[in-house]
Amino acid sequence: MKTLENSLRFGKSDPAKFRLHVLEHYYKYGWKPTVEAFKVGKSTLYDWKREYELSGKKLLSLVPKKTRPKRVRQMTTDWRLVQFIREFREQYGNIGERKLAIFLDEYARELGVLSISSRTISKVIKRKNLYFDHPKRHKRKNKFSRERTRKSPRVKAPGYVEMDSVVVYIDYQRHNFMCCIDIYTKFAHVRKVKTLSSLQAKITFQQFQLLSCHKIHTVQTDNGSEFFKTFHQYLDEEQIKHQFIYPKSPKINGVVERFNRTVQEEFINRSDEIYFDLEAFQVKLTGYLDWYNYKRPHASLGYLSPMQFINSSFPKSMCD
């Protein structure tokens, strides 16, 4: 015997086929097994049967019909009250229904008619679209021509830097970091910051400039707000090109993204000081960066550290 479990393969999205399946079961086994198997009422079953047979057994007759009444109740509100609501909101702004009800009650008494509740006022406002103070759209202050790249940069010399910000949650506390890395030499810098602001991005980059051996000509970032305003203005003043990536394209910033992961796995996740002593954590972070830049081997650099690679690949005059 077919069961309800078998019938569910049609699903609620195709009720006509489900009803046809029920009727086929009825024609084969009778009404009692059908009602028990499909959990439908006997009267409902015979309604479907009647409609199906009257149509000449067409599937279209089993499509559910609209159940909404042809005539529905309409909200009847005195037109003078509606006009009062309209004029009041035009004059005094989009005042709420509860405050408006105080003035409307007084006006209704003057007219000698029944007032309406604040809930009905809310319905009148929505149905008549009595909204007059539309919020102004603020133009973006950071609107300027952005040069974007579609591909990860391929460079043959130092000076092209990728920057990114990282948020790490530890014990429900938020910790913000800003990272810089030269994508050619892999020389990097990380700074823990209180907020991800353009000022903090500028300070982080300035620290990286002081530590770096080479002149920086390009900085590549995502479209985060921390890389606008003060930060972008500083790059303009220094005549450093600001290269943006396209939204939702972190792979283009792949070098700094990989560095972010390395810092988290090798240092942040293994430093207990972040739980109870942020000053000690900062000292330890400085030590980690020294080890990363001066001693840690990098496979992409032939298993040299960034500084070993710089010293072996470039004349000392380039680092002056």
pLDDT at 190: 97
Mean pLDDT of residues grouped by 10 in the chain (320 residues)? 44 77 92 90 91 90 84 83 91 87 92 91 90 70 70 90 93 93 96 95 96 94 93 95 91 94 93 90 95 94 94 65
Cα separation, 8 vs 36, in Å, equals 15
Residue type, 304: L
Q: Kindly list the distances between the CA atom of residue 218 and the CA atoms of 153, 168, 188, 205, 239, in Å, as whole numbers in the listed order.
A: 11, 27, 15, 12, 9
Q: What is the CATH number of domain 147-319?
A: 3.30.420.10
User: How many whole angstroms separate alpha carbon 235 and alpha carbon 218?
Assistant: 9
| Nearest CA among 161, 139, 264 for reference residue 212 | 161
Which pLDDT value is given to residue 136?
67
**CB-CB contact of 48 with 39 (8 Å):** no
Q: Tell me how far CA of residue 134 lies from CA of 17, 50, 85, 92, 210, in angstroms.
A: 49, 55, 17, 13, 50
The pLDDT assigned to 141 comes to 60
What per-residue confidence (pLDDT) applies to 133? Answer: 74
Q: Which pLDDT belongs to residue 315?
A: 59
Q: What is the distance between the alpha carbons of residues 165 and 191, in angstroms, rounded to a whole number? A: 10
Question: For residue 2, what pLDDT is reported?
Answer: 40
CA distance 45 to 26: 9
Token digits for 309?
A: 């690679």
Task: Look up tokens 């009062």; give the residue.
Answer: 84
Neighbours of 126 (CB within 10 A): 10
Distance CA 159, CA 239 (A): 13
Whether residue 217 contacts residue 159, with contact meaning beta carbons closer than 8 Å, is answered with yes
Domain map (residue ranges) of the chain = 4-62, 79-128, 147-319
